[in-house]
């Protein structure tokens, strides 16, 4: 089961959204220079559908998007939670930040509005650097539209 360590309301991870970012532990990616390397550890609270519903209720009216930050160790669980948000919280947009190079086959893109892929590579920089290897996609139907450039000013 996925575990979450903490949450925060953020404004930069998903363009034009006020996002409830849920930081998930047990990250298997181990990116050198990662700003959240503590998330590689196995700790936190279970992220069940009930827990997710409570996190959303606690932030009712404050957020437009829920973003799962990590979960690469259990992409099928990420997909399950995204499908749950779609069903139980209509109008709430759903994002996922993955450190993998590609979207896992367990992911049904229809469950998401946004998907970020790519490990952090220090010399290439984060999403707001034009040289980044990471990509943020807006999911429309089954199509991925690269919106990474929206981070570049």
Contacts of 32 (CB under 8 A, 6+ apart): 122
Please tell me the predicted confidence (pLDDT) of residue 143.
96
Domains of the chain: 3-151 (3.40.50)
For the cut 90, the answer to whether the pLDDT of residue 153 exceeds it is no
Q: Are the C-beta atoms of 130 and 150 separated by less than 8 Å? A: no
Please tell me the predicted confidence (pLDDT) of residue 138.
99
Pick from 11, 4, 143: nearest CA to 71: 4
Q: Are the C-beta atoms of 124 and 33 separated by less than 8 Å? A: no
Please tell me the predicted confidence (pLDDT) of residue 12.
95
Return mean pLDDT, the chain: 97
Please tell me the predicted confidence (pLDDT) of residue 100.
97
The average pLDDT across 59-65 equals: 98
């Amino acid at each position: 089961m996925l575990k979450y360590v903490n949450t925060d309301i953020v404004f930069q991870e998903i363009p034009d959204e006020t996002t409830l970012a849920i930081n998930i532990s047990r990250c298997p990616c181990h990116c050198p220079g990662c700003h959240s390397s503590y998330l590689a550890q196995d700790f936190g609270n279970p992220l069940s559908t009930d827990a997710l519903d409570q996190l959303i209720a606690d932030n009712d009216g404050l957020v437009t998007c829920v973003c799962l930050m990590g979960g690469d160790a259990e992409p099928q669980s990420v997909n399950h939670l995204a499908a749950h948000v779609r069903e139980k919280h209509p109008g709430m947009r759903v994002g996922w930040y993955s450190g993998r190079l590609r979207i896992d086959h367990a992911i049904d893109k229809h469950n998401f509005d946004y998907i970020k892929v790519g490990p952090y590579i220090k010399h290439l920089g984060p999403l707001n650097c034009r040289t980044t290897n990471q990509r943020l996609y807006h999911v429309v139907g089954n199509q991925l539209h690269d919106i990474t450039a929206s981070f570049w000013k």
